[in-house]
Structure 1
Amino acid sequence: MKMANGQDRQTDSLSDTKKSLGVRLRLARQMKGLTLKELAAQSECSESLLSKVENGKVLPSLPMIHRVVQVLETNISWLFDEPANDESAIFRKGTRPFITLDKHKGTSKGLKLERIIPFKDGHLLQCNIHHLEIGGKSGDTITHEGEEVGYILAGIVELTLNGELFQLEAGDGFCFRSNIPHSYRNLGEEAASILWVCTPPTF
């Protein structure tokens, strides 16, 4: 049975994202002079999974992306799309890019990032809306350089900071250093959304 046009476009877009990410990841790895096995070991991930990512078969989880780009010393946004070409300060509803991550068992699940600030060299901030489906989560803990600020727009979210659990609802906010191990998940029975800002830009 043929899918609806919207579903066709969404599937094509995800497929294109996988292929583009794979090409860029392989290029970044080769520029660092690393073999697939070496990158997998240094980023603490499966060599077979990394191979699938480079071949455009799957998208990595959010924690895995952070570990890989730290080893490669690059920016996550560069892996996903081209820098913005204009100087516009306004980003209209319905025109902002989304990044949908694959639903790996035990890792990122039901997580979609809506980019508020398009990636561009020179930006000091990164801002996304993290949309979490029911049961959605970031996956394993994440650490990197910088500072995080967030505001719960909708739903009930559990934020874990260095092993300590915090239950947050719409209207609650948070702020912490990015080198603190952190993860989050949707605890509620409806979708949750988090306005998330960090510096320096990583995604």
Structure 2
Amino acid sequence: MPPLSKKKHPAKRSSRGKPMAPQSTQPKIDAVHVSLEQRIGDVIKRRRQAANLTLAEVSAGSDISSAMLSRIENGMATASLDSLERLCHALGIGLADLFQETDQKGGVAQLIKKDEQMEVVRVGTKHGHTYRLLSYDRGPRKIFEPFFVEMDRKSQSWPRFSHPGVEFIYMLQGRIEYRFGDKTYILEPGDAFTFSGNVVHGPERMLDERAKFLAIIVYGDGA
């Protein structure tokens, strides 16, 4: 797959004619961290409710006060290893099971507002097609790339693509004939099309004045 590049735009200037500092277009990525106490408390509460046990019943079975148990379940108190072992016994689970269920990594969330989405240059750009990259993968290797693609009848020629992984297309507007290897398929709004990226593929012809679709390339182990 050819490398992506940003479209260049003229620098904005202030009312005095001086160049303004460029605004960051980096997506907002927030780490979602849940403390160990909260994760342990969530598991204990979930297990207690699944067993239809009340706070009082687990309290009696573990020799831990109901007030302290409530604080542990809500992540407001740190339980000792001995207390956790007694709680697990009262719940009928092993200590290893408790820690296995709490062994969850913190995740990340990425929000890219409409005006922050980056228009990129691909093979089809010179044919009048527009590609907006909807997510920026910051890892050492690309896992996937989602694009919003627009094209119209003004295009006189159509690009061909070939890349690692699998591609998924979801039609939003218009109809196109799409080539995959030696076959073509008619894609209409609402259609979903999945295919191997290493086989030569691309739009064959427009059947309506304009077409819009989502194209998601999944690289698997990374590209």
TM-score, L = length of structure 2: 0.47
Larger radius of gyration: 2
1:92 counterpart residue number: 113
Distance apart, 1:189 and its partner CA: 3.4
Unaligned runs of 5+ in 2: 8-23, 31-109
**How many residues were matched structurally?**
126
Aligned AA (1:87): I
1:191 and 2:210 equivalent?
yes
2:134 paired with 1:116? yes
* Alpha-carbon distance in 2 for matches of 1:137, 1:168: 19
For 2:112, the aligned partner's letter is F
Deviations 1:127-173 (A, max 9, x none): 00111122447734321211101100111111101021111111111
Q: CA RMSD in A?
A: 3.4
Asked if structure 2 preserves the Cα contact closer than 8 Å seen for 1:155 and 1:188, the reply is: yes
Are residues 175 and 119 of structure 1, via their aligned partners in 2, closer, same or farther at CA, if it must alter by over 3 Å?
Answer: same
- Between the aligned partners of 1:180 and 1:102, the Cα distance in structure 2 is 16
2:177 match: 158
Name the SS for the 1:118 alignment partner: coil
Q: TM-score, normalized by length of structure 1?
A: 0.51
Distance 1:137 1:90 in 2: 36
**1:69-80 maps to which residues of 2 (within 5 A)?**
69=2, 76-77=3-4, 79-80=5-6
Gaps of 5+ in 1: 1-65, 70-75
Q: Percent identity?
A: 17
Q: Deviations over 1:13-49 (max 9, x none)?
A: xxxxxxxxxxxxxxxxxxxxxxxxxxxxxxxxxxxxx
Distance 1:119 1:84, change over 3 A: farther
Name the CA shift for 1:111/1:137 in 2 (closer, same or farther; >3 Å): farther
Q: Alpha carbons of 1:96 and 1:85: their partners in 2 closer, same or farther (altered >3 Å)?
A: closer
